[in-house]
A and B are shown apart, each in its own frame.
Chain A
Amino acid sequence: MSEQTVPSRATVVVIGAGIVGNCLVGHLSRLGWTDMVLLDKGPLPNPGGSTGHASNFIFPTDHNKEMAFLTVESQNQYIAHGLNNTCGGIEVAREPQRMEEFQRRMTSATAWGIDARLVTPAEIKEMVPFINDEILLGGYYTPSVSVVDSLATGTLMREGAVAAGHLSVFANTEVLDLETTDVPGGLPKITAVVTDKGRIEAEHVVVACGVWSPRIAAMAGATIPLTPAVHQMADVGPIDVLVESNQELAYPIVRDMDTFCYERQSAGSMEVGSYAHRPILMRPDDIPSNEASALTPTELPLTYDDFEPQMEQAIELMEMLGDAEIKYAINGLLSLTPDANPVLGETVEVRNLWSAAAVWIKEGPGIAQLVAEWMTYGYPHMCDPHGSDISRFYPHEKTEWHINARCNEHFNKTYGIVHPREQWASQRGIRRSPFYAREEALGAVFFDARGWERPQWYESNAELMEKYPEACEPRTHEWDARWWSPITNAEHLQMRASVGMVDLTAFNEFDFEGPGALGFLQYMCVNNVDVAVGRSVYTPLLTPHGGFRGDLTIQRLGDDHFRVITGAFDGGRDNYWFRKHLPTDGSVTFTDRSQGICTVGVWGPNAAATMAKIVTDHTTAPYDLSQEGFPYGAVRDVIIDGVPCTMFRISYVGENGWEIYTRMEHGLKLWDAIWEAGQEFEICPVGIGVYAVTGRIEKGYRLMGAELESEYDPVEAGLARPKVKSADFLGKEAYLKAREEGPAAIMCTLSMDSQRCADGYDRFPTGGNEPILTLTGERILDAKGRVSRVTTAGAGPSVGKYLLMAYLPPEHAVEGTKLQVMYMNERYPVTVERAGATPLFDPADARMKS
């Protein structure tokens, strides 16, 4: 190390001066951070990361709400800097399925308020005269598509922070180490960044290093799960028609969706990029240094063998490209993550070490603001980072093995048509419950739940469809029927008619023990957890500004012993949230018991009769399973066919019954005992299709990540209790304010009055953010600017209706109100069935308590 030329101390050190790091220091400066350092190993303004070679265009339409919001927000920030060049963009279709995807894109564009329209090949030809319209079926045109100047925007943001006196910038400065200090009873905390120009003590460190992020985070013992991957791009020209336009961007950008390629004018030449080649993944340590790179470290030589098929397709689309010279061609590196979402937030391993990685140009400035808010307020205000939260990953999802397998699988889906229920093909069978062998024998169709194999439905129940023929009609359109089976509806009705059993092993169980456990959980939870031993409580967890951060149930197993039960999809996030806030004085211990516990749910009118045959106490005496002896919400230790179990009288499907937990090694015995006892009642193995969709939606139960997001509060979700507990809790102030102000939107259950499409058959929305429209076709925004959209959709076999859940502003959230839903660019009439949490099915909850 040479002499110290960097400051010896800073509040925050941001590593990486790409689009994210630059915009982050700008936003942090605006939010009042006054003592920052920004480092990069490379030179400025282009340090050599992915930002420097990005094609820089923005197509705003995204089916994912979080990414659509952040993209539009980012585009607005580029516009505010005057660095957004609007040229329009056309996604073109060569295949019929793509034309259907465009109907879906029109639907998402309507939801997010993006101007877009479908265009014919002739209209495309008019906008792009050099395109071969004969091979096209049509297009999806978005006038607001633009090319931005990400380097200049980053420079402005960075220089703004410097001008404010809040930031020192050090280019050509290499990070050698990240130092942490152990915190007794807590997570280690970041303390310093060691560079080749000196050591900087820092309270916060942000890794915004793009493809190098995993390597930098590892210096502190933290994991940022992403892999560098190649995106091929060539600049060809000069081309007369483009030169003669005398403009940087005279023609709309063309995305040739079915060949996974794009053609984007760059003054006199055309940039041709591809996501069609074989996935080419690298390790961060294998990326050359700035010195060893002919261009920059992330601009590697194009491997022509991989690119040649795309050249043929490009020439087919635009013949003039064939005779243009290839002036610049790269294997450009970008970051891929196992689920294709960014990796944002505080690392789960090291306090105050933040990740702002795997971010594209199109969403960079918005995500920088989101991370800045997160660091400033404890959680972002602008939108819920649910899908990008770094704490979502389970341990097996952070291995290079998993990252590579999933990235290899999804790379070619970058321009693909991805179904909302689409299942992964790779990395399956990673986590299996003890019931797996039985389920497999019953013809279970397994869906992936963060590595867990969960039966979605059972082919063995196909016969049941004959019992409930009217509820088990096949779906006409392949899209609606994809990753779905009418067997789910038969399972649903059989459970409601008799009894069903559901594998819930994917649940997470966290134990909190010690004299501080009650106080800690009171602080974390909205509802009063100071209940009697053997009782339970459902509660939201709030962000500091009063939005949903989680929702779960807590069982009180002893005076100083509580157990949290939470779902597979949010287990990682909840685990992190609790541990982040855990006191370090040793008064509370946290133990993740998820790996050791399996769970089966038994529900239906015959659940009690089934269980009565096999449940005893420790003396072999029959156990009192009556509602009086074992009321709703109670938790009891029992013996089932010799196996020590815990039974919890609760239901997410609206039937009497229990979640039954036992240790993994007892699982098979428990399953067999219930299965055998239930035979006289024709017990039915029931899949997650019922548990998570049909059973849940009939009861209007909300799901974290769907209905419950940080953008909404418990009052709006209909989950506010009549009274607020006296104890202080996280988000209380905001929650009290929300109760006082009343909801700007109310969670509603709607039914479709007709599902008949223009082609004369019924359609079935998937619950993928389909917009709710007024009768005149206007999208609906509430007073806070949030759009009404479908958060969950599914059949209600017991109510005979196809149901949707959506937040509606109070003026529309009135039972009986007629509205419309858009699905695949067609409108269907809907009726508001329920405003608030009252279930459509069994509104008094009598079945669960009888």
Chain B
Amino acid sequence: MRVLVCVKRVPAPGAKINITADGQAVDTAYLAFTTSPHEECAVEAAVQLVEAHGGESTVLTLGPAAAEEQLRYAASVGVTGCVLLPIDVADWDPQRTAAALTEAIRTIEATDGTFDLVLFGNESADSGNFQIGVRVAHALGRPMVNGVKGIEIDGDSVRARREAEAGVEVYVLPMPAVLGVKEGINLPRYPTMKGRLNAKKVAVRQLTASGEPGGQQMVTLLQAAEQVSETVILGRGADAASAVVDLMEELGLSK
């Protein structure tokens, strides 16, 4: 089977993220970059699907030239093809991004054949627009399910499972189909040293990113209020015992 994964280069989590003085971008001076967590799972799902059913997997991104790092990361864990849609900025608006991805998918499919599955992350870790996959599926005229936490191939169709408040929803989609994958579907593997070295040799295909700006405009970025956790010292040594007991009772940890 042929599987495509669309990923996005985003700042690595874990550190406080600063915003540039003009409010137009994330200050990247100290930041590392990564693939959004949902998309890491999508990459892992693609690799597992190809391992189980044969075929090939491709990773596609729209982003700055440096996003090649995220493509090679996907290659280092087993994705076999890399396609980059380079743009001059970190990000395009969702409409434009979806249009560019759709166009790129059509271009690739015209020569290489249709992708049975196109996988997205449920949403990106930075802008979190929750819509790229839906827009692309709609444009391609393919069925789409978001929030997917289980994928099974059954002949020409795919069974997608997702968690709902009331229980578990199972969808059966004819392929080609589009799925938005959610973290927890699998545990993404780390690259191995050999994987890293192999990824270095994988050719990155470049296509021109096309698409008109959409309606959504970023006005400014704002720093989220810092979550301050106040440390309360209950006491030291034996003196703290009664305060600890009170607290545990308050938390319902002791009776």
Total residues of chain A contacting the partner, CB 8 A: 23
Contact with A325, one of B13, B32, B189 (Cβ below 8 angstroms): B189
Please determine whether A295 and B14 come into contact, CB atoms closer than 8 angstroms: yes
Q: Which residue of A lies closest to B231 (CB)?
A: A172
Contact with B18, one of A292, A294, A295 (Cβ below 8 angstroms): A292
Please determine whether A311 and B193 come into contact, CB atoms closer than 8 angstroms: yes
Please determine whether A325 and B191 come into contact, CB atoms closer than 8 angstroms: yes
Contact with A294, one of B32, B193, B197 (Cβ below 8 angstroms): B32
Please determine whether B192 and A325 come into contact, CB atoms closer than 8 angstroms: yes
Residue numbers in A under 8 Å from B193 (CB-CB): 234, 236, 311, 314-315, 321-324, 326
Contact A292:B15 (CB < 8 A) given known A301-B32, A308-B200, A325-B189:
yes
The yes or no answer to B194 lying at the interface (CB within 8 A) is yes
B-contact bits for A279-313, CB 8 A (1 contact / 0 none): 00000000010011111000011001000100110
The yes or no answer to A327 lying at the interface (CB within 8 A) is yes
B-contact bits for A433-462, CB 8 A (1 contact / 0 none): 000000000000000000000000000000
The yes or no answer to B196 lying at the interface (CB within 8 A) is yes
A-contact bits for B5-45, CB 8 A (1 contact / 0 none): 00000001111101000000000011010000000000000
The yes or no answer to B190 lying at the interface (CB within 8 A) is yes
**Assembled-state Cα–Cα distance A323/B196 (Å):** 10
Q: Which residue of A lies closest to B72 (CB)?
A: A304
Total residues of chain B contacting the partner, CB 8 A: 18
**Shortest distance in angstroms between B174's beta carbon and chain A's nearest beta carbon?**
36
**Assembled-state Cα–Cα distance A291/B190 (Å):** 26
Please determine whether B16 and A291 come into contact, CB atoms closer than 8 angstroms: yes
Residue numbers in A under 8 Å from B29 (CB-CB): 288
Q: Which residue of A lies closest to B193 (CB)?
A: A311
**Assembled-state Cα–Cα distance A236/B189 (Å):** 12
Contact A323:B192 (CB < 8 A) given known A292-B16, A311-B197:
yes
Please determine whether A304 and B196 come into contact, CB atoms closer than 8 angstroms: yes
**Shortest distance in angstroms between B60's beta carbon and chain A's nearest beta carbon?**
21
**Assembled-state Cα–Cα distance A315/B193 (Å):** 8
Residue numbers in B under 8 Å from A322 (CB-CB): 192-194, 197
Contact with A291, one of B12, B15, B192 (Cβ below 8 angstroms): B15
Q: Which residue of B lies closest to A234 (CB)?
A: B193
**Assembled-state Cα–Cα distance A314/B192 (Å):** 12
B-contact bits for A226-256, CB 8 A (1 contact / 0 none): 0000000010100000000000000000000
Contact with A301, one of B12, B191, B192, B196 (Cβ below 8 angstroms): B12
Residue numbers in B under 8 Å from A314 (CB-CB): 193
**Assembled-state Cα–Cα distance A314/B12 (Å):** 27
**Assembled-state Cα–Cα distance A292/B197 (Å):** 30
Please determine whether B190 and A327 come into contact, CB atoms closer than 8 angstroms: yes
**Shortest distance in angstroms between A317's beta carbon and chain B's nearest beta carbon?**
12
**Assembled-state Cα–Cα distance A808/B232 (Å):** 64
Please determine whether A315 and B32 come into contact, CB atoms closer than 8 angstroms: no
**Assembled-state Cα–Cα distance A652/B38 (Å):** 76
Contact A294:B196 (CB < 8 A) given known A325-B189, A325-B190, A326-B191:
no
**Shortest distance in angstroms between A43's beta carbon and chain B's nearest beta carbon?**
11
Residue numbers in B under 8 Å from A291 (CB-CB): 15-16
**Assembled-state Cα–Cα distance A291/B16 (Å):** 6
Q: Which residue of B lies closest to A236 (CB)?
A: B193
**Assembled-state Cα–Cα distance A61/B13 (Å):** 41
**Assembled-state Cα–Cα distance A312/B198 (Å):** 11
Please determine whether A293 and B30 come into contact, CB atoms closer than 8 angstroms: yes
Please determine whether A326 and B192 come into contact, CB atoms closer than 8 angstroms: yes
Kindly identify, within residues 113 to 129 of chain B, every residue whose CB is under 8 Å from any CB belonging to chain A.
none
Residue numbers in A under 8 Å from B32 (CB-CB): 294, 300-301
Residue numbers in A under 8 Å from B197 (CB-CB): 308, 311-312, 315, 322
Residue numbers in B under 8 Å from A295 (CB-CB): 14
Please determine whether A311 and B14 come into contact, CB atoms closer than 8 angstroms: no
**Assembled-state Cα–Cα distance A158/B194 (Å):** 43
Residue numbers in A under 8 Å from B13 (CB-CB): 294
Q: Which residue of A lies closest to B11 (CB)?
A: A294
**Assembled-state Cα–Cα distance A277/B227 (Å):** 39
Please determine whether B194 and A292 come into contact, CB atoms closer than 8 angstroms: no
**Assembled-state Cα–Cα distance A234/B192 (Å):** 11
**Assembled-state Cα–Cα distance A323/B195 (Å):** 8
**Assembled-state Cα–Cα distance A314/B194 (Å):** 11
**Shortest distance in angstroms between B84's beta carbon and chain A's nearest beta carbon?**
17
Q: Which residue of A lies closest to B14 (CB)?
A: A294
Kindly identify, within residues 173 to 228 of chain B, every residue whose CB is under 8 Å from any CB belonging to chain A.
189-194, 196-197, 200
Residue numbers in B under 8 Å from A234 (CB-CB): 193
**Shortest distance in angstroms between B103's beta carbon and chain A's nearest beta carbon?**
31
**Shortest distance in angstroms between B201's beta carbon and chain A's nearest beta carbon?**
11
**Shortest distance in angstroms between B58's beta carbon and chain A's nearest beta carbon?**
22
A-contact bits for B49-61, CB 8 A (1 contact / 0 none): 0000000000000
Residue numbers in B under 8 Å from A312 (CB-CB): 197
Q: Which residue of A lies closest to B73 (CB)?
A: A304
Please determine whether B192 and A324 come into contact, CB atoms closer than 8 angstroms: yes
Residue numbers in A under 8 Å from B12 (CB-CB): 294, 301
Kindly identify, within residues 321 to 348 of chain A, every residue whose CB is under 8 Å from any CB belonging to chain B.
321-327
Interface centre among B193, B196, B197 (most CB of A within 10 A): B193
**Assembled-state Cα–Cα distance A679/B141 (Å):** 99
**Assembled-state Cα–Cα distance A308/B199 (Å):** 11
**Assembled-state Cα–Cα distance A314/B193 (Å):** 9
Residue numbers in B under 8 Å from A236 (CB-CB): 192-193
**Shortest distance in angstroms between A53's beta carbon and chain B's nearest beta carbon?**
15
**Shortest distance in angstroms between A823's beta carbon and chain B's nearest beta carbon?**
41
Contact A288:B196 (CB < 8 A) given known A294-B32, A325-B190, A325-B191:
no
**Shortest distance in angstroms between A159's beta carbon and chain B's nearest beta carbon?**
14
**Assembled-state Cα–Cα distance A315/B192 (Å):** 11
**Assembled-state Cα–Cα distance A311/B198 (Å):** 11
**Shortest distance in angstroms between B169's beta carbon and chain A's nearest beta carbon?**
33
Residue numbers in B under 8 Å from A327 (CB-CB): 190
**Assembled-state Cα–Cα distance A39/B132 (Å):** 49
Residue numbers in B under 8 Å from A293 (CB-CB): 14-15, 30
Residue numbers in B under 8 Å from A308 (CB-CB): 196-197, 200
**Assembled-state Cα–Cα distance A327/B190 (Å):** 6
Residue numbers in A under 8 Å from B191 (CB-CB): 325-326
Residue numbers in A under 8 Å from B16 (CB-CB): 291-292
Please determine whether A326 and B15 come into contact, CB atoms closer than 8 angstroms: no
Q: Which residue of B lies closest to A309 (CB)?
A: B197
Residue numbers in B under 8 Å from A324 (CB-CB): 192-193
**Assembled-state Cα–Cα distance A304/B197 (Å):** 10
**Assembled-state Cα–Cα distance A327/B12 (Å):** 15
**Shortest distance in angstroms between B229's beta carbon and chain A's nearest beta carbon?**
13
Q: Which residue of A lies closest to B16 (CB)?
A: A291
A-B contacts, 9 of them at CB < 8 A, read A288-B15, A293-B15, A293-B30, A294-B32, A295-B14, A304-B196, A311-B197, A322-B194, A325-B189
User: Given known contacts A294-B13, A326-B190, what 10 new A-B pairs fall within 8 Å (CB)?
Assistant: A288-B29, A291-B16, A293-B30, A294-B32, A308-B196, A315-B193, A315-B197, A322-B197, A323-B192, A326-B193
The 9 A-B residue pairs with the shortest CB-CB distance, nearest first, are A294-B14, A301-B32, A325-B190, A288-B30, A322-B194, A291-B16, A294-B15, A311-B193, A292-B30
